[in-house]
């Protein structure tokens, strides 16, 4: 990650914010923090800002969602992103299981992942790492099923001729 332009989606979340801390320690040239939550994004940006400045790492907070392809395209292009760590997900099982939230959870976890992956391919991002969950193994809830669907999509993209290497890791 040293000297590279890296974007972390879901940067304000529990996993995303820890990735931000660890990637910053690797001294990337630019670290793009993407989150749909203003509070989450503000919190991690404020935490890292002084350290990034001292390390001469360009820190770019972006308020947006992975479901907006025009926003993702602009961010990847403007900041010449080489590596995407995709941690953005709706993951709180009781909230996601509520019938009022199932469609939004699937839209974010499945369609958002596919959108960001496709835009990454278009922009010739070198590496795309999807952060998944142990709940994707034999899923018994909407969150696990939506993350499993996203994993299958990411696996299928490696069969396309592309300059982007797709991989995933399960946390849990």
- Active-site positions? 135
The answer to whether 144 touches 90, Cβ cutoff 8 Å, is no
Residue 89's DSSP bridge partners are none
Cβ of 154: how many Cβ atoms within 10 Å? Answer: 20
Contacts of 7 (CB under 8 A, 6+ apart): 31, 32, 34, 75, 76, 79, 81, 83, 84, 85
User: What's the CA gap between 172 and 166, in Å, rounded?
Assistant: 20
């Amino acid at each position: 990650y040293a000297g590279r332009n890296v974007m972390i989606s879901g940067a304000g979340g529990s996993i995303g914010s820890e990735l931000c801390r660890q990637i910053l320690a690797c001294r990337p040239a630019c670290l793009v923090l993407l989150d749909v939550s203003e509070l989450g994004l503000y919190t991690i940006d404020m935490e890292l800002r002084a350290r990034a400045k001292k390390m001469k790492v360009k820190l770019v907070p972006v308020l947006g969602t992975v479901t907006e392809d025009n926003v993702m395209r602009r961010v990847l292009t403007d900041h010449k992103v080489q590596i995407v760590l995709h941690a953005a997900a709706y993951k709180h099982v009781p909230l996601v299981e509520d019938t009022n939230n199932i469609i939004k959870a699937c839209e974010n976890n499945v369609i958002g992942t596919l959108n960001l992956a496709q835009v990454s391919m278009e922009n010739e991002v070198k590496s795309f790492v999807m952060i998944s969950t142990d709940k994707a193994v034999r899923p018994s809830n909407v969150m696990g099923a939506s993350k499993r669907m996203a994993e299958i999509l990411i696996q299928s993209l490696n069969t396309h001729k592309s300059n982007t290497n797709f991989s995933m890791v399960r946390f849990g």
